[in-house]
Structure 1
Amino acid sequence: MLKRTKSHRPGPSMFRTRAAVIAVGLGASAALGAGVSVAAGDAKSGGALPGVAVNSVKAQADAQAKKADAQAKKAADVKKAAAAKAAAWVDPVNNYTLSASFGLGGNMWSQKHSGQDFAVPVGTAVESVHGGTVVKAGPNGAGDGPAYGNAVVIKHSNGTYSQYAHLSQVDVRVGQAVGTGQRIALSGNTGNSSGPHLHFEIRTTPNYGSAVDPVAFLGSVGVKV
């Protein structure tokens, strides 16, 4: 009689074991592939995720460009303001009361009044009405006579001269360049003066006798006195 032999086919547990091994292998391969992909992305982007570094650099570049534009605009505004100030004319003093006017007659003057008087307290800041160069400065009317007391005369680029008299203090010297609105002296009561004030003239030359109406002149350059 023939003997039956036992089948050697793998049992269910063996199939499950093999399936698990295969699954683990596939998982490892997938994980390894993903790791390689991320690593490749890191290598291209400098260690960050793809696209992140590029966006960061662009943002920084945009911020720097905006900052540079803002700085350039600020510099242009400053330059424009300086140019406007250089072109402007201003009052010689602030917070004043007009007193004796140009061409006024009387026993206070040997001839008619040659300027415009601004009544202000002694020690009030006196400012250059426009940029220019100091051509006279000092006592005795800066050479125009003792009636003016301490005085300053400034030459301007348009060929006119401004004169400031009866000063208590002179803060500039001959040859000095001054800007529009720059303090050049302090008002006073020196010379032939009936009280604290600034005597102001506009001249066609640096010397006495060439004065024109200073209020009319200032009005022609945009300064309402």
Structure 2
Amino acid sequence: MSSRSLSRSSRTSLLRTRAAVLVGGLGASVVLGAGVAAAADTNAAASTATAVQAQAAAQAKAVKATEAKAAQAKAAKAAAGAKAKAAAVKKAAAKKTPSWVDPVQKYKLSASFAQAGGMWQSTHSGQDFAVASGTKVVAAHGGTVVKAGGNGAGDGPAYGNAVVIKHGNGTYSQYAHLSRIDVKAGQIVKTGQRIALSGNTGNSSGPHLHFEIRTKASYGSAIDPVAFLRSKGVTV
């Protein structure tokens, strides 16, 4: 065999070997490509599942936030309603509790303020409420007792047993001709609280309550008590 023939045979064998290698590499590439594709599909599925879970979590969080906000709004509305109801009850109670009241009940008005007469040094300094002796006398308004006792509580024997109460607005009320005194100086009394019993002590022509409204604690500063009580909503 000639060297030329060998050379041709060697080249053929080399070509076959290269072809086999190429085919094997191509197969490996195909197999490798399929594996990469499969991995990509798996990753994509995992990514999708994660996204779905994240979306579900976000939606659940949003629902909880909405529910919490609704609960807060409901609680605020209930609190506002309770506050409004309490205010209405307080207002109604204030309407039922008068600021000023008559000092006695079931009376007849007798000698009036500034009335002239022989029983007084000048004119009458208060309003007389004709009632039987022993009738309950109450504080016309809440305040502090500043004077209580015989001799007009310091205003003179003409008043008999008397009580003077100082009120928060700087006004004073006086109750005279009492048969009994149930309070003492310095005592705090409420509107409508019993302070004494009516009587006929002092310069009196019969059982009654002498009632004054003053701008000071002592005699000489009286104003019309009936007009004053009416200005406070009291029916006299």
Shared fold (TM-score, shorter chain, > 0.5): yes
Distance 1:220 1:209 in 2: 22
Task: Identify which of 81, 92, 104 aligns with 1:93.
Answer: 104
Structure 2 residue 152 is matched with structure 1 residue 144: no
CA RMSD of aligned residues (A): 2.1
Residues 93-119 of structure 1, C-alpha deviation per residue, up to 9 Å, x if partnerless? 000000000001111101100000000
| Matched AA of 2:156 | G
Task: Identify which of 191, 197, 211 aligns with 1:180.
Answer: 191
1:108 is aligned to: 119
Q: Give the secondary structure class of the aligned counterpart of 1:202.
A: strand
1:128 is aligned to: 139
Displacement of 1:83 in angstroms is: 4.4
Count the aligned residue pairs: 155
Displacement of 1:138 in angstroms is: 0.5
1:3 is aligned to: none
TM norm structure 2: 0.61
CA contact (8 A) 1:86 1:131 kept: no
Distance 1:208 1:141 in 2: 10
Larger Rg: 1 or 2? Answer: 2
Residues 49-92 of structure 1, C-alpha deviation per residue, up to 9 Å, x if partnerless? xxxxxxxxxxxxxxxxxxxx9xx899878755664566611000
Runs (4 or more) in structure 1 with deviation over 4 Å come to 72-87
As a proportion of its length, which structure holds more helix? 2
TM norm structure 1: 0.64
Task: Identify which of 193, 201, 207 aligns with 1:190.
Answer: 201
Q: 1:105 to 1:86 in 2, by over 3 A?
A: same
Distance 2:215 2:161 in 1: 20
Q: What 5-or-longer segments of structure 1 have no aligned partner? A: 1-68
Distance 1:169 1:116 in 2: 19
Correspondence list, 1:159-170, <5 A: 159-170=170-181
Distance 1:170 1:209 in 2: 23
